[in-house]
Structure 1
Amino acid sequence: MSGSLEKVILICPDSRPGLERVAGDGPLALALYLGKPLLDHALDGLARRGVKEVLMLVSAWPEEIRRFLQGSHTWRLSVRVVTESVEPSPGTAAEKHAAYGAHEVLTLDFLPQAPGVPVLTGLEAWHRSRAELLPLLAPSMIGTQEISPGVWTGLRAQVAPTAVLAAPCWIGPAARVGRRARVQGFVEEGSIVDHDAVVEDSTVGPGTWLGAMTLLKTSLAMGSHLLNWRTGSVTHLTDAFLLAPLARSPASFSSMPGRVAALLILLCTWPAVLLLAVMRGGPLFRRALAAPARRLVGNSMAPQGNPVSYREITSFTTLWRRWPMLWNIVTGEFAWTGNPPLTPEEAAALEGEFERRWLEAPTGLFTAPEAEGSFWPWDDTAKAHAALFAGRADAAWRRMILAHSLRMLFSSDSPPFHPLPPRPE
């Protein structure tokens, strides 16, 4: 290859009509495409063509692009980023940077692996180009395998034995496909296609949960947004049981102010609470174990620590039964708002990745399922509320749980809790 072929100018896109949701809160060049950022695929393709130097022209998010390039990558390229005020045309870029001596001026509208396949010309191209580019891009990615003709899975992807995958199909890294689900399309990294769901000629974007028995057809599912790639229509779904983002908010257990508040309440209320419990007779406390929360470690969820010991007042039938759990908040083991405690046995009985999301939120004194009227024994509705809280809890939701639980705590017509479930000592 001659020296002149070793230099390329690459224009990063500013924006493209219809792809705003695809970019999200970041540059379109770093949008995930078949398991890797689009720019990562492009630079890998250039390196495989023998390109040695790239002058990258960036008009939007230049610092984000620079941070990405500073990471650990396998391509052996010298990349220099130049910030432009507006995205230049290829002709303008060639004229302005003629001194660079580039052989080609490229844009990310096409990947070097397939220069004739448009990628960023609209929603339809963003989806349909994957079928042609999948066999070109997948073999170069670590951990991918073709499990049947035209069906590829990424590193740590999980597919239920009863799921049906049809070409062209991509199940991205750490993505999960539930039992009896059918996928003919593309599921990006960290997404979940729940049991009996159907993906037909569609793309499930990264970090997206597609609910059980939901049909996704000729569309892109991005968090809670549904984008029809044929018509360009965009729908925001408010029913989180059909479609929801799975971006995990870091679940802090109890902050220092929260711990201090719990300690003050314990000190102020213990004489009255214990006196009332003694007057009711019977055993005062019962010890129970709560399964530990799970956290994302690498690309998999792992339990953090051992089961947590806590106590309940056996003679109380309302939320006051959990008064001893204030001490677990003081120690930082529990939170004021979270999910109900599960025994290790109950946690092991959770089925599917969606149900197991229960454990990705801290154990709380006041809980999401109970605020929605679901009590032990935990049914599918309670499991759904717990799983969605783990993935989408925000300050407003926590305030709602706290307000509802306080009303229930001090209301004379508060519904009694179900009998205490059996818990091992």
Structure 2
Amino acid sequence: MSVTADAISHAEDLADFVAASPSSYHAAEEVARRLEADGFTRLAEEDVWPDQRGGRFVIVRDGAAIAWAVPANATPATANRVFGAHTDSPGFKLKPKPTTGSQGWLQAGVEIYGGPLLASWLDRELRLAGRLAMKDGSVVLAATGPLLRLPQLAIHLNREVNDHLALEKQVETQPVWGLGDPTEADLLAELADAAGVDAADIRGFDAVVADSARGQVFGKDNAFFASGRLDDLASVHAGVVALGNAARDGFDGDHIAVLAAFDHEEIGSASRSGAAGPILEDVLVRIYASLGADDAQRRQAFVSSWCLSSDVGHSVHPNFAGKHDPVVKPLLGSGPILKINANQRYATDAVGAAAWIAWCESVDVAQQEFVSNNSVPCGSTIGPITATRLGLRTVDVGIPILSMHSARELAGVSDLYDLSRVAGAFFTD
């Protein structure tokens, strides 16, 4: 499989994006930073917004970002096209009193976030990242360099480890970060130092653990890309690149182009910044109000609108082929995937499938289908949630990967680039 220079460049830029996004809060800020560089104006939700016609705007709410481009000739009934993804990833989050330890070791008290592959986090150099709420009412982002590690027990002390490995979630998933007496140490001081603030002024924090290793292109013909947090920063990055390109090319289509990067998908999306919350509807209501739309006209526009819900799916695994559908077997490097489920765990229907294929064909991108083995429960995405909340016709898509929910996931370099190209067609075609 040949991989183009453009695809490799896209993957390298994704590595930069992931490195800048160790937490959902960092990811949302990086979305805004990149789009502001492409001419978007950042708005505050508490302010009165300017006229939307012909504008390019972005907002950040906690760990979510919404960005949009409105054509100059937009009317109250102009439809919208939403490219949806999520900023959070499975892993570990700091508990309220995170400085712990025993036997002369300093450890971090963490809670499991979402459904990570626990063993994949062992023996890696890890970092802390998140946001700090300060005494003066400000909120600052903080990210350390490599600081923590979850060390495995040596095989000499666990002779059966290669026959089975099961980590006790309370005792055996607490990383080490130093040596000493935990009563005389402060893990939050490490985050405070990274942010340049006084640890004594911290009044609240949301901080997660992230792999510190940079994303890497590798393999025969540079076919592979390995990185942490591909689920779902790969989709967020694809949407940012596509929307930024559209804006630089003078986007003035017949619809409103929207990038919705939600938080908290891995734990159900039920938050003020998640897909089950009001954030996307809040933005769209304000856009249409600026266009003079009443409630009936806005709902008319929604009926003609689309959402591409983009998240990763499973590539066929060469060592576990029996876990996949025996006929539908998407493969890394063979194109983005259309995700289908009879029980609406994915929102794709026949009309959406036809539209997806058309967008792929318009930029000469091969596409594949994904469906679960009947004996393996199917996950879900923001797609059904968005379709239910807003009534947008929604199509679930993404890229195939291996090692989903690992600390370091595996994607195809060409798929990453092709997803962004189809996102561009979705926004502009």
Q: TM-score, normalised by structure 1?
A: 0.26
Q: TM-score, normalised by structure 2?
A: 0.26
Higher relative contact order (CA 8 A, sep 6+): 2
- Pick the structure with greater CA Rg: 1
